[in-house]
Amino acid sequence: MAVGCVIELAARVASRELQNGFAVVRPPGHHAEESTAMGFCFFNSIAITAKYLRDKLNIGKILIVDLDVHHGNGTQQAFYADPSILYVSLHRYDEGNFFPGSGAPNEVGSGPGEGYNINIAWTGGLDPPMGDVEYLTAFRTVIMPAANEFDPEIVLVSAGFDAVEGHDPPLGGYKVTAKCFGHLTKQLLKLAGGRVVLALEGGHDLTAICDASEACINALLGNELEPLPEDIVHQIPNMNAIASLKKTTEIQSKYWKSVEPYSVPVDCALAESQKQEREETETVSAMASLSVDVEQCVPQEGSRAAGEPMEEEPAL
């Protein structure tokens, strides 16, 4: 039933009958492999849905973003050699010591699918735990640039909420706020003409699941989101996150031109980076305006420059 619900919703979004949607289903699916149940997952709803969209509805490019704190080993396996589906996961990895142990940064796909598998593999345990600033930075430096370059026709999201604060260390231990997931969803809505489908994955704290789901649904509905605290905008990601992101950008810059520029300033504060982007935009605008002014000031043939006296017509 879970698989059928996700397929039905995605098909309606793909056909533009619906703009977007959230499938609140159980059990989760992203750990399930082709012939193996795993991690409370029996059938991989997102993977089966992506194959349905690709094979039955002829959707050429599908982006899958996995927000669960655990790596979606089943989804990665399903599309590891498939260039029509870009799989992106950000998850707790800890050098393979956190369940399920897969999802290393150098797992990039194989054959024709090489480069179409992106793992933002957080390492360093919980000292300190990853939070809003780290997830927002990952979106800004890796996920959104690569996604825009890929230019998907639809976005499928494995909406696992076990990275939300409130989960014990063995189940995640991170400190991402529920409202942050709303802001991440809002960013994804900029892709594929807003055709975004979320499917509930992991989460073991009912309050966290409810709050994060509410934030994501508000984003899907276009409602105004509760703003993130001002200090989040000015924070620098923790050192473990910086190391993880540098490793990912170094690897992925070989496949995505848009990721390469972020390999150096990834450890800048969000506010400083945003300021730099604004200054670059203002500089380009100013130069464009100056160019226009110069063109307007160049005297045309038969015209006089400003301040030049008019020639008197000869007296008859």
Count helices and strands in the chain by DSSP H and E runs: 10, 6
Cis peptide before 265, with omega less than 30 degrees from 0?
no
**Listed residue (42, 48, 50, 44) closest to 30, CA to CA:** 44
Could you tell me if 100 and 71 are in contact, meaning their C-beta atoms sit under 8 angstroms apart?
A: yes
Q: Is 70 a catalytic residue?
A: no
**Listed residue (6, 83, 80, 66) closest to 30, CA to CA:** 66
Cα 81 to Cα 311: distance, rounded to the nearest angstrom: 77
**Listed residue (195, 197, 156) closest to 16, CA to CA:** 195
Given the residues 30, 31, 70, 167, the one annotated as active site: 31
Cα 222 to Cα 244: distance, rounded to the nearest angstrom: 32
Catalytic residues: 31
